Amino acid sequence: MKTSSSHQATDTAISQRQTISIPIEAGLVSLRGLSPQRLRFESEYALERGSTANSFLFAAGQNSEGDHHSAVLVHPPGAAYAEVFMPALANALESNTTALQVVVGHINPNRIALLQKLADVYPQLELISSNPGAKLIKELWNQRKPTAPGEQDEVTPAIAPLPDIQIIRQEQVLQLSNNHQLRLIPAPTARWPGGLLAFEESLGLLMSDKLFAAHLCTSNWAEANRNSTEEERRHFYDCLMASISNQVNSLVDRLEELDIRTIAPGHGPAIEASWRSLLSDYRRWSEGHQDAAINVLLLFASAYGNTAAIADALAQGVSRTGVRVKSINCEFTPADELLQAIQEADAYLIGSPTLGGHAPTPIISTLGTLLAEGDRSKPVGVFGSYGWSGEALDLLESKLRDGGFQFGFDPIKVKFSPDAAMIKTLEETGTHFGRSLLKGQSRQQRRTAGGMSASRSDPAVLALGRVVGALCVLTVRKGEGDKSLSGAMVASWVSQASFSPPGLTVSIAKDRAVETLLQRDDCFAINVLAEGRQNQLMKQFLQPFPPGADRFAGLELDSSPAGQPILPEALAWLEATVRLRMECGDHWLIYAELSHGGVLDAEGTTAVHHRRTGANY
């Protein structure tokens, strides 16, 4: 597969959103939208490394059967890229082009807005989608966001008529120009019910859309090596794929039957040399979710994507505790599958938007099934987004409370889309919910085992507890002003790791709220506590914090050169930047390079944490 070296530019040259053209083979180019900044506040963008929107354009011409075939655009971007994408597309097409086929792999209002612009420019536009995808396109095409009560709708241009839609109900091969053969593979999931993958058979090029994606802004066609993008791809998987791991694994099984040579996802660089390793990673990452003893059922519908964003953040938080989340999109799930999922779940989360003062019909139907078949001894949570009213959420709450269900947290109501602070609060809410389920399981196991934990009496585990560490408080602040996020935790698993450059390691449990703020290149501080003066700070940071709470409330703080919180009562402080992260069972091991530090009390001694067993902190 050929790619143009002219677009192997360094990423530092990318300063603003743009679309570049990357030639792949004769008659095929990739139109890559580059966005160096974080696009939105959803969890999937939390690494803040920008993103790309990768589309693929097959030129018009004669196919292998001698018939003329119009140009085919695979996986167009959303309207956020329209200003830079539309001119790039026009430049790549012949000047007199009126006919264009567009393969749409997933559908949301942002992407519909881009399709409407295409319909305005190319009067013979034809959309190609799966059957569920066609249903979503028809529902969203003429839909407008609600206005406030009493306000008049803004005057907006007329929407182009809905183009013809070619529906792909099962795998189908299109014969395109330049001897290209495009196999279209329906790939429905709860998160993307209209999923449709495209595989160019002669090149072995899988255009996988959301599958195998990573939010990383790069103009390079393919990743340099597997390690260069593993963190970004793992983060994307954890945010969006973990809760649909069963469906994703089924897709991976199907894809392994294809003669793949390159995977080109909808976001991030292509994967050429290590695509088999990536498929294996997807399987490995799902193992923990599949083997989890506790299962939370996540039920939702989402008109504009806002409720889905809330669902993703809650699922991310729950998953950090090792509890499995299973997502079901109520609009596209058969009744028998929904019933079985409700009967097998250990807890329920149900979310809905409010549309015209009501909950969508599929949510009403799902609520009825949950009330009829759900176990009242299992906790429930309600969430959703709304525009100018929240009747759907009030309905869910009242019906479930009247039905005798116990709530694991107060109903979550988000106006329009969640911001960064709300996303963090949602993740922490999910983590608290998951922890409460694990505590219930632990109590049951202790009763069954007569109150004795086998691991705590293991000689090796007892010996592990004799490894001691300094008592520290890790503090972190990220962002500026009202958009800043902060966190803190007591840490005793801290150790020097290198002399040159000076570095340390710190181990962070996966379910710690602060873990999301400790990604590669993030800065943080370690406050080493002083023997005899540690109790007050320990009390402050060991107390249970409700989701979204300020860990530093009531404290006087100093700041490091990079603006990290410093505790004046500490013995010493260190400022460090995350360079590497390694997954170690139920913890992340973080290696960080030191940039600044200071001793606040030259006469004091370090507080040390002694344990009886290595089975807990």
User: pLDDT digits over 396-453, tens only?
Assistant: 999 999 999 999 999 999 998 899 899 999 999 999 999 999 997 766 654 554 444 5
* Model pLDDT, residue 66: 80
Phi, psi dihedral angles at 472 (to 5 degrees) = -135, 165
Two tokens, residue 196: 């449709």
* Model pLDDT, residue 158: 85
Two tokens, residue 603: 């006469």
Two tokens, residue 113: 């807005």
Strand 503-509: give its sheet, edge to edge.
Answer: 485-491, 472-478, 523-528, 572-584, 587-599, 503-509, 494-498
Alpha carbons 84 and 82: distance in angstroms, whole number: 6
> % helix / strand / coil in the chain, to the nearest 5?
30, 30, 40
User: pLDDT digits over 251-310, tens only?
Assistant: 999 999 999 999 999 999 999 999 999 999 999 998 877 778 899 999 999 878 899 999
Cα separations in angstroms, 44 against 210, 233, 308: 12, 10, 12
Cβ neighbours, 10 Å, residue 161: 12
The pTM of the whole model exceeds 0.85: yes
Which of 31-40, 258-267, 586-595 has the weakest average pLDDT?
31-40
User: pLDDT digits over 64-105, tens only?
Assistant: 788 889 999 999 999 999 999 999 999 999 999 999 999 999
Q: Is 596 exposed, middle or buried (0-12, 13-18, 19+ CB in 10 A)?
A: middle
Domains and their CATH numbers in the chain = 5-145+157-209 (3.60.15.10), 292-439 (3.40.50.360), 458-609 (2.30.110.10)
User: pLDDT digits over 114-147, tens only?
Assistant: 999 999 999 999 999 999 999 999 999 988 765 5
| DSSP-H helix ranges across 404-534 | 420-448, 459-464
Question: What's the mean pLDDT in 471-485?
Answer: 92
